[in-house]
Amino acid sequence: MANFYEEVKTELKEALKVIDKSQYYDLLTKPKQIITVNFPVKMDDGSTRIFTGYRVLHNSTLGPGKGGIRYHFAVCLEEVEALAALMSLKCALLDLPFGGAKGGVEVNPKELSEKELENLTRAFTRAICNNIGPDTDIPAPDVYTNAQTMSWIVDEYSKIKGKFTPAVVTGKPLDLGGAVGRNESTGLGAVYVMEEIMQIEGINKPTIAIQGLGNVGKHFAKFAAERACRVVAVSDSKGGIYNPKGLDLDEVFRVKEETGSVVNCEVEKITNEELLELEVDFLVPAALEDQITKKNANKIKARIVLEAANGPTTPEGEAILIKKGLRVIPDILVNAGGVTGSYFEWYQNKHNEKWTLEKFNSELEKKMKKAAREVYETRLERKVSCRKAALILSIQRILDKIK
Ligand code: GLU
């Protein structure tokens, strides 16, 4: 989305104003380093195609850059810049020793074979290999990339550097030094945030609608259902399904696995737009940015919007929601379980440790719930929205370190 970075900048500008630190606007909005690469990839039919990719290191005040690599046809530099800035803020909010970075390749991964995706990943790794590294900038999975993608990066990077270097990425397969719990940690982290909010706001057995059933949405749904929450609607890129009594998630996952979409379930169908407008306790956008805008914000009837995706609500959309009395829990808090899990993985790699799933999840729970409480406290103290409170906490941590 071309104006996504403008939206993030607007939010930063407003947060800086609240704490009277507007002089740091440039520092927080001009990325430290931007790389654009055009690189050739061998296709299955013998031809060569040129792809465009980006890696943006937004800020490294708190540590090496950290952030995923996204494969999507709509990837563009502005989007990657926005996502890199959100990573700096997310890492600061969770008190992780990382700066923010992000990468992306303009590609429709659904049109490529497994071999072509491998060739693309290896070629992109070669193109950015001098700009990533375990102590400089550490990629991870994001939209349409996964542990398999990370293993190709480790292999290619290690070959180039002449040394097996698993800590160059996180979100790796377990046998390459990945951490148990990392794959589920974004979804589970968002559930921990939700639990903390339920406690603060006195909500019991909430109803939930989830837009997007990728790695985040799927695990969020599963962990929420295990905790007596009623998931009434889910969707994927082809459309959604709705059952006010609660969906049979095992059946939903089975149908999605076998047919490619939840719309093939024998349940009432709804569109992605209709899902956003359901009357539920928690609306969980878990897909892409710019879903709740000034066009549809007036029709949103959820009590709380829990931003599991990065940037799903535009500033104009959020202003309307807040005016209507809805609460918006921001992305840099809600989906920070991913990068927090990445930190645990990186830490284990560096210290040669192997944590159990229990230890991983209990550390994750502590960090997520603490950050959620801090956001609520700052919101009350400063009389601002949850997003502004989260941004203020993040910005202050970065500025304190600079001092
Ligand atoms: N892609 C995830 C995010 O947007 C995780 C990044 C990471 O683990 O470095 O937060």
Q: How far is the CA of 115 from the centre of ligand 1 (A)?
A: 25
Query: For every one of its 403 residues, what pLDDT tens digit does the chain have, with 9 covering 90 and above?
Result: 558 999 999 999 999 999 999 999 999 999 999 999 999 999 999 999 999 999 999 999 999 999 999 999 999 999 999 999 999 999 999 999 999 999 999 999 999 999 999 999 999 999 999 999 999 999 999 999 999 999 999 999 999 999 999 999 999 999 999 999 999 999 999 999 999 999 999 999 999 999 999 999 999 999 999 999 999 999 999 999 999 999 999 999 999 999 999 999 999 999 999 999 999 999 999 999 999 999 999 999 999 999 999 999 999 999 999 999 999 999 999 999 999 999 999 999 999 999 999 999 999 999 999 999 999 999 999 999 999 999 999 999 999 999 8
Confidence (pLDDT) at 256:
97
Residue 192 inside a domain? The answer is: yes
Residue 29 inside a domain? The answer is: yes
Q: Are residues 137 and 85 in the same domain?
A: yes
Q: Please state, in angstroms and as integers, the Cα–Cα distance from residue 127 to each residue in 45, 78, 120, 123, 137, following that order.
A: 23, 20, 10, 6, 14
Q: Is the CB of 170 under 6 A from ligand 1?
A: yes
Angle at 243 between CA 237 and CA 245, to 5 degrees: 145
Looking at 175, 200, 232, the residue that finishes a domain is 175
**For residue 1, what is the DSSP state?**
-
Q: Are residues 52 and 154 in the same domain?
A: yes
Residue 401 annotated in active site: no
Task: Kindly state the tokens that stand for 342.
Answer: 């990445």
Residue ranges making up the domain that contains 223: 185-334
Nearest to 318 by CA among 338, 289, 339: 289
**Distance of alpha carbon 374 from alpha carbon 226, whole angstroms:** 26
CATH of the domain at 324: 3.40.50.720
Local structure of 329: helix, strand or coil: strand
Q: Is the CB of 189 under 6 A from ligand 1?
A: no
Q: Are residues 38 and 171 in the same domain?
A: yes
Ligand 1 closest atom vs CA 83: 4
Q: Is the CB of 140 under 6 A from ligand 1?
A: yes
Spatial contact of 337 and 306, defined as CB atoms under 8 Å apart: no
Q: Are residues 86 and 157 in the same domain?
A: yes
Residue 135 inside a domain? The answer is: yes
Helix axes 315-323, 4-18, angle to 10 degrees: 60
Spatial contact of 314 and 336, defined as CB atoms under 8 Å apart: no
Q: Please state, in angstroms and as integers, the Cα–Cα distance from residue 286 to each residue in 52, 69, 240, 305, 306, following that order.
A: 26, 17, 13, 11, 9
Residue 374 inside a domain? The answer is: no
Q: Are residues 228 and 325 in the same domain?
A: yes
Q: Is the CB of 394 under 6 A from ligand 1?
A: no
**Distance of alpha carbon 166 from alpha carbon 155, whole angstroms:** 8
Q: Is the CB of 335 under 6 A from ligand 1?
A: yes
CATH of the domain at 148: 3.40.50.10860
Residue 50 inside a domain? The answer is: yes
Q: Are residues 233 and 309 in the same domain?
A: yes
Ligand 1 closest atom vs CA 142: 1
Q: Are residues 53 and 190 in the same domain?
A: no
Q: How far is the CA of 249 from the centre of ligand 1 (A)?
A: 25
Q: Are residues 141 and 278 in the same domain?
A: no
Q: How far is the CA of 298 from the centre of ligand 1 (A)?
A: 30
**Distance of alpha carbon 333 from alpha carbon 211, whole angstroms:** 18
Nearest to 31 by CA among 1, 74, 67: 67
Q: Are residues 58 and 146 in the same domain?
A: yes
Confidence (pLDDT) at 403:
87
Q: How far is the CA of 93 from the centre of ligand 1 (A)?
A: 14
Structure-token match 């009590």, residue found:
303
Amino acid at 140: A
Query: How many structural domains is the chain composed of?
Result: 2
Ligand 1 closest atom vs CA 70: 1
Looking at 175, 198, 224, the residue that finishes a domain is 175
Residue 364 inside a domain? The answer is: no
Q: Is the CB of 103 under 6 A from ligand 1?
A: no
Residue 254 inside a domain? The answer is: yes
Spatial contact of 196 and 369, defined as CB atoms under 8 Å apart: yes
pTM of the model: 0.96
Q: Is the CB of 183 under 6 A from ligand 1?
A: no
Q: Are residues 189 and 316 in the same domain?
A: yes
Q: Are residues 164 and 207 in the same domain?
A: no
Task: Kindly state the tokens that stand for 229.
Answer: 């929450």
Residue 247 inside a domain? The answer is: yes
Nearest to 284 by CA among 309, 262, 267: 309
Q: Are residues 222 and 171 in the same domain?
A: no
Looking at 155, 175, 195, the residue that finishes a domain is 175
Q: How far is the CA of 212 from the centre of ligand 1 (A)?
A: 17
Ligand 1 closest atom vs CA 336: 10
Q: Among the options 90, 102, 256, 388, which is catalytic?
A: 102
